[in-house]
Amino acid sequence: MQYRRTDVDRNGAFATTSGSSKSGSWNVPVGYTFAKKGMFNTLNVQYNRARSESTNLYAYVRDVAGEAGIAGVSTDPFSWGIPSLSFTSVGGLRDQTPTIRTDQTLTVSLTQMKPYKRHSFRWGGDFRWMLTDSRTDSNPRGSFVFTGLYTGYYATPGAGARSTGTGLDFADFLLGMSQQATLNYGPGMVRFRSRAWSLFFQDDWRVNAKFTINAGVRYEYLTPYWEANNQLVNLDANPDFTAVAPVIGGETGPYTGAFPTSAVDPDRNNIAPRTGIAWRVNQKTVLRAGYGISYSSPVYQSMAQRLSAQPPFATTDTRLGTLDGPLPLSTAFATPLPPSVVTNNFGVARHYGLGWLQMWNADLQRDLGRTLNVGVGYAGTRGSSLDLLRAPNRGANGVAISDVQPFLWEEAGGRSIMHALSLRLQKRPAKGVGGAFSYTLSQSRDNASTLGGGAGTVAQDDKDLEAEWGASSFDQRHRLTASLNVELPFGRNRRWLLTGAGDLLLGGWQWTLSFTAASGTPYTARITGSAANVAQGLNGTLRAN
C-alpha cells in the first residue's frame, strides 16, 4: 500500500495572482504468482485513487471581477478571482484557476508463460475501469486582449480613421478598450467514465546459440470518455466547414448522423505488432534490430473536459471588437447574444482516430579488444494520425460562418518523421580507468500541434495545413557526450595505503568527468497581439515570416 501527499504554494508573476494546491493519492497493488500444469501465472489487481485541489487567493473570499463592475461573468464563489489580461509588449495577468479533481482506476491483469522446447510463450491481458470526477472553470472571470488597435488610430475629417503606427496595448488597457473578450465557465462537477482492455501474445524463440527472435502482437482498446449525466457537446460540421451545429452526445447531428454518448466515435483498429532479433555474427560482433507499432491514448480525457464545458450545460462567449466598437472591460459581456448564435468554442472530428507510431532500429556492436567496444546504431520513427488543432471559422476580416463564434477544431491529421544515427566508443574499466564517447546525428520534422510548435499550437492557415510542416520543437541535429571514470589508487586492493587510516580516509574514491555538447533546438517566434489575428478570435497562432 502506498500513500503520497503533496502541498504546493503556486506563485504568480504578481503576489496577488498566487495560490496553492494540495494532492493525495493511494495505490494498492495485489499480486499472486503461481505455477500450474507447466505454466507460470501472474495475477495482479490494482486500485489507484488520487485527489487534487487548487485555488487562488480569492475563491470563496472576494469577488474581484464583481467589484470591478464586470458584468456577465461567473458569480459562483468557487471561481472568484482576477480577470485575465493579455498584452503584446508586456507580460499579461492571469490568476490561478480553482480546480477539484478525483481520479480512480481499477486494473485487473493476468499473464501466463509456457516454455516449450526453444520457445518461451507469453500471453495475457488486462482490463481497466477509469472514473474521473472534476470541477474547473477555465475562464470564469473573462479574458481580455489588448493590441494597441485603438490608440494607434486618429480620425481626420472626411478621411476616417488612419493608422499612426504608434498604438500601445497598455494604453488601450488604461482606456478600458479591449479588442477581444472571451468567457468560459461551468457546468460544475462532471463525472467522466471510460473502460480499456488489451490482449497480447509473445514468443521468445531461441533459434540457436547465435540467433534469437522475439515476436508478438498486442491489441488495445480504450473507449472515449463519456459523462455520467450525458453532458458532452460536440460540433457537427459539414465537409467544407461552411456550417456547424452543436450536438449533445447520443443525439443526431444534421450533417453526419447519430453521435455516440461519448460525442466521439471509438477507435477499434489498434493492433500493434512488435518484433526484434539478436544475432551473434561471430565472437566479437552482435547485430540487433527491431520494429514495432504503438498508439497514443491520453487525448480522450482532455477532449472530454473541453466538450463538457460547452453550451447548453456551460457558458461560453467570444466577443470581437472593431475599430469603431471597442469592448469595454465592464460591459463586454453585458448584452446577451441572440439564441441563434452558436457560442461553442471547441469541436472534435467525430471519426477521430488515435495517433500511431512506427518505430524501427538497428544496432551493430563489435569488440575491438578485451576492454574496447565500438557500435553504430540507427533509429527511425514515423508518426501518423497525430493530433492537429485548426481554426476553421477564420475569415478574411473576422469569422467565416455567420452566427457562429470562433472555435477550435481537433482532428487526427498530423504526421512526423525522425531519423537518428549514433556512433559510440566504450572502454570498460581496466586498471582503474574507463570511459565512453558517443555522437548522435538526428533530424525530426512534423506538422502535429503537440510536437511542432509546442502543445496546443493552432495551425496558422486553415486553408494550407501543409504550411505547418517543419522542424519539431525538440529537433536537435548534433549531440556529443563523453565521460571518463578513474578509480584513485588509494586504499585496500589499490596501489597505495592498503590498510589503516589511509584506507579509511582515501580508499574507494572515484573521479568522474563528463562532457556534453549539443546543437540547439528550434525556437518558434510567435506573433501575439496581432490586430488582424485577434479579429478572427485567436491570438498567438501566427508565426514570424
Give per-residue pLDDT as tens, 314-340: 999 999 998 888 999 999 999 989 999
* Inter-residue long-range contacts of 55-59, CB under 8 Å, 24+ positions, other chains counted: 55/19, 55/20, 55/21, 55/96, 55/98, 56/17, 56/18, 56/19, 56/81, 56/82, 56/95, 56/96, 56/97, 56/98, 57/16, 57/18, 57/19, 57/81, 57/96, 58/82, 58/95, 59/98
pLDDT tens, 234-274? 999 999 999 999 999 999 999 999 999 999 999 998 999 99
Task: Determine the pLDDT at residue 74.
Answer: 94
142-187 pLDDT, tens digit per residue, is 999 998 888 887 766 665 666 666 788 999 999 999 999 999 999 9
**Residue 192 confidence (pLDDT) above 80:** yes
Q: What is the mean pLDDT of the chain?
A: 91
What's the angle, vertex CA 399, arms to CA 397 and CA 403, rounded to 5? 135
> Nearest to residue 365, comparing CAs of 354, 351, 376?
376
To 10 degrees, the CA torsion angle through 447, 451, 454, 459?
Answer: 20
178-403-449 Cα angle (round to 5): 70
Model's pTM, two decimal places?
Answer: 0.86
Amino acid at 387: D
Residue the block writes with cell 498584452: 87
Mean pLDDT value across residues 390-394: 92
Closest CA to 355 of 386, 393, 377: 386
Residue 294 has a pLDDT of 94
Per-residue confidence (pLDDT) for residue 69, from 0 to 100 = 93
Question: Is the bond into 312 cis (omega within 30 degrees of 0)?
Answer: yes
pLDDT at 395: 85
Lowest model confidence (mean pLDDT) among 311-315, 406-410, 522-526: 522-526
* Count of other CB atoms within 10 angstroms of residue 514: 11
